[in-house]
Amino acid sequence: MRPCVPAVVVYDTGLCTREEDDPAHAVLFFRPCHTPTHARVSLAGQLAGVIHFCRHAFSTPRCQDQERPCGSQGLW
């Protein structure tokens, strides 16, 4: 069994905002350096996805106007 080696990842979410952007360009720093590129991109993408989810799922809830729940029309 392989020993668990901690990884250090620096990922710039601003470099990968569109579908056609290469996620490998967003990985600015990765250690251990012997990790293959596809594994670096995969791990960095998974971590970025988890962070994005946690920021939006557990952020401060927004107040909603009960008299007009869907904007000025008040339609459901």
Q: How confident is the model over 59-74, as pLDDT tens digits? A: 877 776 666 656 555 5
Measured at the alpha carbon of residue 28, what is the angle toward residues 42 and 1, in degrees to the nearest 5? 45
Residue 73's pLDDT is 56
Give dist(CA 22, CA 38) in Å, integer. 12
Gap between the Cα atoms of 19 and 32, Å rounded: 28
Given a cut of 60, whether residue 19 has pLDDT beyond it is yes
CA 42, 44, 46, 48 torsion: positive or negative?
negative
* pLDDT for the residue 65: 66
Angle at 52 between CA 50 and CA 69, to 5 degrees: 125
Mean pLDDT of the region 19-28: 92
